[in-house]
Amino acid sequence: MKISIFGLGYVGTVSAGCLATDGHSVIGVDPNKTKVDLINQGISPIVEKDIGEMIAAAAKNNVLRATLDVRDAVINSDISMVCVGTPSQLNGNLDLSHVRKVCEQIGAALKEKSAFHVVVARSTMLPGSMRTVVIPALESYSGKKAGVDFGVCNNPEFLREGTAVFDYYNPPKTVIGETDSKAGELLMQLYAKMTAPLIRTEVETAEMAKYADNTWHAVKVAFANEIGNLCKAEGIDGHKVMEIFCQDTKLNLSPYYMKPGFAFGGSCLPKDVRALMYKGKSLDMDLPLINAILPSNQRQIEKGIKMIVEKGNKKIGILGFSFKAGTDDLRESPLVEVIEFLIGKGYELKLYDKNVNLAALTGANQDYILNHIPHISRLMASSMDEVLNFAQTIVIGNSAAEFRNVPDEIKSGQVVVDLVRIVPKLSGEQYDGICW
């Protein structure tokens, strides 16, 4: 395939070298004449393991060249990859001026081209950038329509400096955000030999996936450092602790807990985070990440309350209010806080959770209900139908299987607030999900 790559920096040079090595015909484009000359001489403009040899071989075999001429590159390629920089502005926002300029130039060249062309953004951009910067610039300067006359994709890169060539050929995943299936199909051909999962999705989802990755990596580093600092203060080897932590691939290093939804609760997580915060304070330590966990959790409770209140209904039904499905434990259940807020504001409530049956509760749970939240026990309904026949706003509070059909069974005038995504891909005027 014929590919033009705009921006011969780190990502662009690695992409150019690897694609040319794979047998594609590659044209590199950069306004910096020195970079263009280096590529044409078979010299890599960046320092990276293996890429120097790859650039030299590709230039020698005439499958890689570079130019200052945008029109030449676009006219003589099927796919254009945008790999220019998106540096930070002083306020933290991204400077997309390089992206905008390149897309304007590509758009002007597309005006002269009749064949279907795909523009692929590999530059890291915040969600919405494709729709507000890339596509408008291409359409304005080409006079054509994205998704119809030409294709547009977002294809985030997952390259680490020092191991970029290895990462290119061994990615954890390949993500293609596409405006149309034709563009996605064409781009997908470049990754046909990759064994990693290939995900095709909307451009906004692809844009955000890159930020989720990098922010999570940053969180992991900060978390390990804060645990390590606490360990050192207590005379514990932080590396040994984190080595044990990383042995758990069922919960710690896994998809578990990684689904957006409502706040955490229960008898362990809030208590143990609180205790670790206290330990840090007692040692005069500043642990900003750990100290932010409970406030962040509280914001999610407040968001849930706001969603319920904004529906404008006075009769509220709560389906599932133990801290998670399959348990009768109400201790530090975030739903209990929601219920108490609504009671205090004068809302009429009915609650149902088959596992929370006052007659069956014993021990700590019985004591908690009788002595801490007796007012809640008086609102408990004996069946789910009782709640559904009463409520104007129905809140799904945990993922018990019996609640899965509720969104499909609501009546006119009722609305569902789903805090757990009881079933995937629901939408509509009568349905609202907390993170989707």
266 is in an annotated binding site: no
350 is in an annotated binding site: no
- Residues 285-326 have pLDDT tens digits of 999 999 999 999 999 999 999 999 999 999 999 999 988 888
271 is in an annotated binding site: yes
Q: What is the DSSP string of 365-416?
A: HHHHHHHH-HHHHTTB-SSHHHHHHH-SEEEE-S--GGGTTHHHHPPTT-EE
State CA 267 to chain mean position distance.
29
Q: Are 362 and 295 in contact (CB under 8 A)?
A: no
28 is in an annotated binding site: no
Q: Are 157 and 11 in contact (CB under 8 A)?
A: yes
State residue 125 phi and psi, 5-degree precision.
Answer: -140, 145
162 is in an annotated binding site: no
The CA distance from 108 to 46, in Å, is: 29
CA distances from 49 to 7, 14, 213, 345 (A): 19, 10, 23, 63
Specify the DSSP element, H or E, that contains 74: helix 70-75
The CA distance from 13 to 15, in Å, is: 5
- Residues 165-198 have pLDDT tens digits of 999 999 999 999 999 999 999 999 999 989 999 9
The CA distance from 109 to 29, in Å, is: 13
State the burial class of residue 423 (Cβ atoms within 10 Å of its Cβ: 0-12, 13-18, 19+): middle
The CA distance from 369 to 348, in Å, is: 20
For position 361, what pLDDT does the model report? Answer: 61
131 is in an annotated binding site: no
For position 359, what pLDDT does the model report? Answer: 46
306 is in an annotated binding site: no
86 is in an annotated binding site: yes
Q: Are 206 and 176 in contact (CB under 8 A)?
A: yes
Residues of the chain with pLDDT under 70: 357-365
The CA distance from 155 to 177, in Å, is: 6
Please list the active-site residues. 268
**Helical packing angle, 135-142 and 97-110, nearest 10°:** 30
pTM: 0.90
The letter for the amino acid at 90 is L
327 is in an annotated binding site: no
* Secondary structure percentages of the chain, helix, strand, coil, to 5: 45, 15, 40
Q: Which two tokens stand for residue 263?
A: 């706040």
Identify how many contiguous H helices and E strands the chain contains and give both numbers.
18, 13
Q: Which two tokens stand for residue 195?
A: 């064994």
CA dihedral 350, 355, 361, 363 (to 10 degrees): -120
Name every residue whose Cβ is closer than 8 Å to that of residue 419 and which is 6 or more positions away in sequence: 261, 262, 304, 395, 396, 397, 434
